[in-house]
Structure formats: structure tokens, C-alpha cells
Structure 1
């Protein structure tokens, strides 16, 4: 069967349909198109062009996208006419190793038990591509609210819900309040018998199939009896593209010292930070994980560590 015969199938995507129509309208053969692309420094096989036209595959990667831009010119189309039809990438990208973001074995076991109690898989088949987490410290110096806006991606299969946990290792606490702010709802809550791990299941407003993404937002509020006063952070099991922490202090309570703490399989790094007259601090990492990033603070002398 010739390439041209293969191309008679129905186009299955907007990109494939537009490419197919442009090739037909220009009276161009795949062989000729391949030759002209190669002459322009964008070699693409006829089989690949066939896949693109039928919708069996889509262009991915810098070299393929450069070839698509060249196709627009060769087929007499406006700049971006084909590229804009591709939409977001369909690749998950490199996932990297998966690891529990903290090194306490009992804590990992409690997290696993909490996930399973909520009906979630462990490890969870999603990763967080972008995380913007905000912590608000009240006038008594205690954390009162944390919000997180997260771009989650399905890494395998179909995902309907994402589990999250609040951890207070060595300090049993009553459960905080969990609230969904966007992208879905909280369908389950669970407190581990240790009272050191509190979980919730965030049900997405629609299922996503790998490698689709969805933006969600949730909040955790701490009642007065939970006196979280010395830090807040965020852990990721996979590598995240961006992790941003923003800690905001009430003007009635400003710390004397702050630390930025990074914990990864490579070790623990503590970096002193200063407010310099501001009322907030932020820390950002790109291409970070697995691991945890946190901010610690206090009044008086900074504790010494061995």
C-alpha cells in the first residue's frame, strides 16, 4: 500500500483535518512535501507526515514543531494556522523518580494507610506540575490558613480524584478544616488513628486521562486549638515544574528569624532568610522534586542544630 493510499483515512483531530485539507488544496504529494521540508533543514519521514495527516500521531518536540511552521509556509497558510490547532502537549514529559517527600518511615506508612482508607491508590497516579501555596500567619503567630493552587496531571489511566494529606509528625492534632475552592469538590475526609496525618480526597469536576491536566484550588484552615507556629511547607513525590511558597505574616506578629528549608534525597539544606521590613517571604524552585520545600520562623534566638 502506498503512502497516498494510507492517507485516505478520516482525519481525527482539528490539526489533522487542516493539514489534510491544505495538502489536498495545494495538490501536494507527500513525497514532494518531504523533499521540500528536507531542503529547508526540517527532515520528516513520509510515514510521519502520513500519521500527522490522519491524526494517528501529532507533532511533539522542538524539531517537529519547527517542521510544522515550515509546512505552513510551504502550503501557503498563515503563520500559526496549524500550530494553534495542536493545543497543549500530549506528553507527560519525564516523570523522574517517585519518592515519599519525607524520610520518616512511620509517617510514610501512615500516609499510605490514609490514602487507602480514602479509596485512593498509593502512590497516586498524578503529578503536580505547578504549585502555588500561600500560608497566612495570624496575629498570635500561628498558621491560620493555607491555600494551594495546583496544576495536576494524570500520569496513567483515568483519574477522577486526587488525595492530599496534612502531616504533623510527632504532634497529634485534631483535624483541620478542608475546603475546595475550584476545580472540584472534597468527597472524603479521613484522620489516621495516630492523629498525625489528616487526609482529604479532592474529586475533580471531570475525569482526566493521561496526560491531561486540570487546575484545582483548595484551602486548609486551622482552628485555635491547633497552634502551628513555626513553619509550613509543601512536599512533592514527583518532580514539579514550579513550586512556589508564599508566607504572609500578620503585621501584629512578625518573626525575628526565618529559614528556607529544602529536603530532598540528596539531603537537607537550610538557608537563613530576612524580612528586611517586608511582611512576607517567598521561596521558589523550578524542576524540583521529589522532596519538600518549607519555611520556618520564630522569635528570639534562632535554634542551633548539630
Structure 2
């Protein structure tokens, strides 16, 4: 059994919740993997899958059935917590339904896209919770197109702040909504390295870990930069960034080749991929063949640019 580890951010979250954040921080403090926790529960006659534990940890679902509540009581002992430390976070049973354990200002990534059937399994495989522990201070995307009107690279720089102690990684999700051209490869540029990377069988989603160059303490920031590299595909006519959580600042730049400039460009935002455009306005391509938009206080949803070639 793990020794009691109560202090810092874990102690605070045990007082304030939510359950998912408390469970995540307790697991991190214990140093145990999910398979080790599952084994220790099984030794007590409690059969809980790793997927279920991952769901609880990420806020995708929460324990409500009697067998699940029994497991939570055992988890408190396994993770070195006082009795009822996790159970007290659950409160009364709530109405059934998905996505009920969200933090304010967040959206499940699987909710953003109209067809996310291949994404859920990839996120569970990577198992990197982010909503409760990383605040997105700013993001900068540079989307570069070649003379054949196809995308060549997408370079992203992100500034994140840890809202918990001992945060070492984040997760990247890329969606191929054109249906052709395949998925890009991901490469580190600055202050990070690539961990596990997974793609779905339909070739719609790439999910990858970004491992920071240091472990963040509560309130620490990290500046990470990575690049997606594409093989030739269909002509690109848009790019948008999905935001599962509130973000401070966002800069999107699209760079065109001098010999392949669009006729018109438009900025847009959407709540979800198949929702109507909001905030639609025309933006102009500069003399250096680029266009950009800057937004602040981004709500969960999509922000992007689209263009017409002729």
C-alpha cells in the first residue's frame, strides 16, 4: 500500500474537487500505473477495467454504481489517501448521461468533430488527461501552402501553464477532414519531444503525446513548438484549430506561395465542426503573401480561415 502523500495541490483539490482532478493527482503522487492499480483492486476482489479507471481520471465518467463506489473506497487505501477523501468528491448521484463531469469552460474533443468515431479509442490509448491540469495561455499556428495549393507544414507554438504539480506532458490531436491525402507526421521543434503517437484505421485522426523538457510545478509555464509535415494531397481551402478548453490568445497565420494566391479569404468560428459559421468576415492577403487572424479569450470550439482559389 502506498504511503500517505497529502500536500500541495493534491491537498487543495481534495478540498475543492472535482473528483477527476483529485483522482489524477493522487495517481500521479502514488507513482502507480493504471495496470498496477487494476491488479491491486483485483487482489481485493474488485474487478474494474483500466478503461474505466482512465474514464474516471479524465472526467469522462464517474463512479455511481455500488460496485464502483466500493472500488473508490479501495482506491483511497491503494493511493495512500484518508478514508472518504475521494468518495466525498462524488456527492449525490446525478442524472445519467455523457460529458457530465466537465470542468467549466471545456469540451470533450470527441464533441468537436461531426464524425469522431476513431478518436475516442486513440485518446484512451494515449491516456493523457489535459483539461484539469493545463491552462492554454496562447497558441500560434503557421499553416504553409506550396505552389500546387496543397499544405506542406503546420508549425504550432503553444504556451501552457500547469494548474497542478508534476505535469510532464500534453496531447496533440490533428483531424484530417478532407478525407484524402493521408495524415501528417509530427516532429518536435523546441522544448519538447514526441512520446506515443497513434492514428485511427480510417486515417482521420492523429493523436500524439508532447513530453515537456522538464516537469512543471503548480503555476509553471512551458513554451513548446512542434511541426506537422504533410505529403502531397488535395488542394487545401481552409484550416481551423479546435479548442477543447478556453484559451487566452490565438494567432493563426496562413502563408501562400507567390504563384498560388487565393481570390478571397474569410475568418470564421464555429461551436462544432458542422455548426454554422459565426463571426464571418473577409480578411486580406498582404504583399508578403500571407494572411492572419488574432483572437483573444477563445471559447471551446473552432477558429479558422478559409479561402477561395478562383
Is the TM-score greater than 0.5? Answer: yes
Counterpart of 1:161? 169
Counterpart of 1:250? 257
- Cα–Cα, structure 1 residues 175 and 145, in superposed 2: closer, same or farther, change >3 Å? same
> Which of 149, 152, 158 is the matching residue for 2:160?
152
> Which of 192, 206, 220 is the matching residue for 1:212?
220
Render the CA deviation track for 1:159-203: whole Å, top value 9, x for unaligned.
Answer: 211110110236155331211001110012110122100121111
Q: Is the 8 A contact 2:155 2:225 kept in 1?
A: yes
Counterpart of 1:283? 293
- Matching of residue 106 in structure 1 with residue 115 in structure 2: yes
TM-score under structure 1 length normalisation: 0.61
Q: 1:1-306 maps to which residues of 2 (within 5 A)?
A: 96-100=104-108, 103-104=112-113, 106-107=115-116, 110-121=118-129, 123=131, 125-169=133-177, 171=179, 173-224=181-232, 226-227=233-234, 229-264=236-271, 268-269=277-278, 270-275=280-285, 277-300=287-310
What is the deviation of 1:274? 2.8
- Cα–Cα, structure 1 residues 276 and 133, in superposed 2: closer, same or farther, change >3 Å? closer
Q: Is the 8 A contact 2:191 2:212 kept in 1?
A: yes
- Cα–Cα, structure 1 residues 228 and 145, in superposed 2: closer, same or farther, change >3 Å? farther
Render the CA deviation track for 1:29-59: whole Å, top value 9, x for unaligned.
Answer: xxxxxxxxxxxxxxxxxxxxxxxxxxxxxxx
In structure 2, C-alpha distance between the alignment counterparts of 1:124 and 1:143, rounded to whole Å: 33
Q: Is the 8 A contact 1:112 1:122 kept in 2?
A: no
TM-score under structure 2 length normalisation: 0.60
Q: Is the 8 A contact 1:96 1:239 kept in 2?
A: no
In structure 1, C-alpha distance between the alignment counterparts of 2:142 and 2:178, rounded to whole Å: 24
Choose 1 or 2 for highest CA Rg. 1
In structure 1, C-alpha distance between the alignment counterparts of 2:141 and 2:134, rounded to whole Å: 18
- Cα–Cα, structure 1 residues 173 and 196, in superposed 2: closer, same or farther, change >3 Å? farther
Counterpart of 2:21? none
- Cα–Cα, structure 1 residues 168 and 131, in superposed 2: closer, same or farther, change >3 Å? same
In structure 2, C-alpha distance between the alignment counterparts of 1:104 and 1:210, rounded to whole Å: 32
Q: Is the 8 A contact 1:241 1:286 kept in 2?
A: yes
SS where residue 106 of structure 1 aligns? Answer: coil
SS where residue 251 of structure 1 aligns? Answer: coil
Q: Structure 1 residues 198-207 or 257-266, which shifts more? A: 257-266
For structure 2, the residue ranges without an aligned partner over 5 or more in a row are 1-102
What is the deviation of 1:283? 0.3
